[in-house]
Amino acid sequence: MTPQHEPGQARPFRVMKFGGSSVGAAERLFQALDLIARERDDGPVAVVVSAMADTTDRLIAAVDAAAAGLPGDPHVDAIEALVVNVARDLTDRLDRAGLLKHVPEDLSVAIAELMRPLRQLLLGVGLVRERTLQTRDLALSFGERASVLVVRSLLAARGVAAVGVDARDWTVTDDRFGQATPDLAASALQLGALAAAWSGAVSVHTGFLGRTRDGRTTTLGRNGSDYTAALLAQILGAAELQIWTDVSGVMTADPELVLEAYPVAHLSQAEALELGDLGMILHPRTMSPLIEAQIPLRVRNTARPDDPGTLIDAVGTRDERHPVCVVSTEDLALLDLETRRRLGHERIGERALRALANAGIPVWVGTSAPRDRAFAVAVARHDAARAEAALAAEFGRNPDGEPIELAPIRVREPVTLLTLVGEAMGRTPNVAGRFFGALGQIGVLVRASTQGAGERSISAVIDGEDTATAVRTVHAAFNLAVQEVNLLVLGKGIVGRELLNQLAAQQQALAGDQDVLIKLAGVADSKRAVFDPAGIALARWEARLQESHVPPDIPALLERLRRLPVPILVDCTADDTTALYETALSLGIHVVAANKRPLAAPWPIRQGLMDMARKRHRRWEYETTVGASLPVIDTLKSLVRTGDGIVRIEGSFSGTLGYLAGELSRGVPLSHAVRDARARGYTEPHPRDDLSGLDVARKALILARELGMELDLDAVAIEPFAPSEALGHDDLERFFLALAEHDAAFAARVERMRQGGRVLRYLAQIDPSPPAGVPAVRVGPVEVEPDHPAARLRGTEAFVAFTTDRHRAYPLLVQGAGAGGAVTAAGVLTDILKIAMSLRGR
């Protein structure tokens, strides 16, 4: 951004800060140099650089090694080797990148000369076997000073006038080594005396460093280089501070947890302070100079300089739809305190916080119960034992070491502090409701909570194991214009293929009209699988699957699926996938199924899956397992929920068998009708599953279990549609030949019914209170009279009649197409949308 200025006035400074990742690799360093040169063309520029990537770690390791003791006496050779290794690492990195050839002077010699005093420092550390914060600060200074040397030399080689500045020459600090605080007034005087020498040149400053009034080197602690840049901007009266890093701005969430995280375009300085308190972006004290001087800050990406980044200024944005940041502070411990009796005029929280402060233990969050009877405090996990001891000491100990005034302190670990930060929160109703509602929908327990006094943040302490799911869910609830749903589809048969075709046709309309973006994350058949967290183009799913050589390791795919927003396993197979459902639900994945087998599993297994879904707050939708897209199960559930007593359920649950009965009535031979039904996609993969009555029996069992009837499949009385002797062949052609042997007998049976004015239908009957000796659930062929509801069925129509206490005289009927890939797939899609809509509060 080119700052505005009056004609004739000097252009204001811009301060650019580059972190270690921006100067540690050749490509990034070249980009940083390009950016500096470009900004210099628009006016005066001051640059702050951090140590090159890994250099600080090497320097710390060198100091630690010297303090630990090295072979030799007095360790001269070993110390020399440490220094040479640090210098060689820098030189080799530049040489491999081809950077040394760009500078006229011998940069290797200059780096070695710069490191010479480090040899003396390490020798002294090795002799006394002691490493103080002061010596460590001095050792760390060599990393920043080397970066300045390299950047200044490379700028000069490009023809950009540049001068290296050791920030110790102007940053005057106290003597708190490792965490020094600058004196602004004294630093401004020092900088003013130096600045005249930079006229017309880019000044390249070391970050992170300062010096006491008596000349001892200090470091500024966490985000120290950012702090140097902020001080420099304040003293120079800069128009803008630019922080160049490896991300395109302040992200809405941790990109490692949320693939859909994106940069926030505009933040207020107050929001930035909140984020800084949580360890995200700039430390709060780094923001202070910018706030005092009202200097805007931009966070930019060195590798993608054309990205706008994030602007942080005093105003922020007034957009009510302004995205918010979801911050997850992990690896904490929560200590719960509860009073045994009244503690007098001082509150339990006041005493607890004072005790922890006196022990030097940082507190992430503290929250009190009403009337101050309890207090919860979150600290870093590694501080938990010290915190518990400090609290026990504050409230007195009994002989067993427990606090006298408190119940035993309960420590819960690990926990995560999940915080929502956004300026618009104080102007938007129901933020807290949406925040806690999103967590509640996925079954995340909130152990403690608090809201910032400025209404810019709200926090919840949650169990550590729930972190990833909670972050993704809250992020989606507040930052995504559409509700993203990610599917793993099992099976590419008739239903699976049709579902993917319908998704392809409806994807844009659902996103535009319903605010639901359904993404295909993966698809698998019996031989191979393909998975892409970014989403598989629905027009290419089959090609992607054919190109894949990955075997279908579904548990591994579920582990990947769980990391995506609103993960749903979609089962379009006829396999026994019961174990997969258990895995999916335990991982927090929703299940949508057209597969009846897990629902017809032995009662304890089925109930275990239902309990798992409830425990994990996951949805298991299975409407299409009975009646394809007909709302049979939903209707039954509604009747039961409203207290209506079910007297009887009767129906033609199989559109397939309904179609076959109709064809037989028209004179079509049985084997021909079955072959035709299979070709149309009406039957199960092997038609005997339909003809045996087993498929209808499973459907009847599913409905009976919805009534709470603890039955297994062997309790269902089944009479096959076709003779049993024709159903024992696995090979399809042999099966159809065997079926043809019964064509004539079936034709004669149908003719006798026709002459008697009756028609053949295959019905299921469920009686919750059957007479003695009569099965509660029966399925089989029935001759029905012309006035029976089943007599009116045509084609693949199915019907279910619910006779209830409220619908006794006129049973409640559900009727419509009951078979076919298209209608079943439509029902599966409806179940997927149920889950998505529930998360959007619709």
**Rounded distance, CA 394 to CA 322, Å?**
44
Tell me whether strands 363-368 and 297-301 are parallel, antiparallel or unpaired.
Answer: unpaired
Name the band, by pLDDT with cuts 50, 70 and 90, for residue 86: confident
The full set of domains in the chain, from first to last, is 14-246 (3.40.1160.10), 325-466 (3.30.2130.10), 483-619+834-839 (3.40.50.720), 632-819 (3.30.360.10)
Name the band, by pLDDT with cuts 50, 70 and 90, for residue 371: low
**Rounded distance, CA 703 to CA 689, Å?**
18
Name the band, by pLDDT with cuts 50, 70 and 90, for residue 6: very low
**Highest mean pLDDT: which of 32-36, 109-113, 120-124?**
32-36
76 vs 139 pLDDT, higher one = 139
What pLDDT is attached to residue 7? Answer: 43
The total of other beta-carbon atoms located within 10 Å of residue 511's CB is: 16
What pLDDT is attached to residue 454? Answer: 62
Q: pLDDT by residue (tens digit) across 373-384?
A: 788 999 999 999
State both tokens at 531: 């998975």
Show the 3-state SS of 422-489.
Answer: CHHHHHCCCHHHHHHHHHHHCCCCEEEEEECCCCCEEEEEEEHHHHHHHHHHHHHHHHCCCEEEEEEE
Closest CA to 345 of 372, 363, 367: 372
DSSP string of 494-507, one letter each residue: HHHHHHHHHHHHHH
Residues in the chain: 842
Name the band, by pLDDT with cuts 50, 70 and 90, for residue 660: very high
Name the band, by pLDDT with cuts 50, 70 and 90, for residue 523: very high
Element (H, E) at 603: helix 603-615
754 vs 87 pLDDT, higher one = 754
Burial class (CB in 10 A: 0-12, 13-18, 19+), 583: middle
What torsion do the CA atoms of 67, 71, 72, 76 make, to the nearest 10 degrees?
Answer: -50
pTM greater than 0.75: no
User: Amino acid identity of 176?
Assistant: R
State both tokens at 798: 């199915």
**Rounded distance, CA 386 to CA 361, Å?**
8
Mean pLDDT on 710-722: 94
Residue 404 has pLDDT above 70, yes or no: no
Beta bridge partners of 334: 378, 412
DSSP single-letter state for residue 586: H
| Count helices and strands in the chain by DSSP H and E runs | 27, 29
Residue 84 has pLDDT above 80, yes or no: no
Biggest CA-to-CA distance, the chain: 117
Q: pLDDT by residue (tens digit) across 234-245?
A: 999 999 999 998
What torsion do the CA atoms of 89, 94, 98, 102 make, to the nearest 10 degrees?
Answer: -140
The three-point CA angle 433-437-442 to 5° equals 165
Closest CA to 173 of 125, 221, 124, 211: 211
Q: Please enumerate in sequence order all residues whose Cβ is within 8 A of that of 343, keeping only pairs 6 or more positions apart, or say none.
A: 351, 372, 405
DSSP single-letter state for residue 406: B
Residue 557 has pLDDT above 80, yes or no: yes
Please name the residue that has the structure tokens 């295909």. 520
The total of other beta-carbon atoms located within 10 Å of residue 274's CB is: 23
**Rounded distance, CA 782 to CA 762, Å?**
6
527 catalytic? Reply is no
**Rounded distance, CA 541 to CA 523, Å?**
8
First and final C-alpha spacing in the chain: 43
Coil, helix or strand at residue 457: strand
Q: Is the Cβ–Cβ distance between 813 and 789 less than 8 Å?
A: yes
Q: Which of 101, 596, 699, 834 is catalytic?
A: 699
Percent of all residues in the chain with a pLDDT value above 90, rounded to a whole number: 50
Residue 100 has pLDDT above 70, yes or no: no
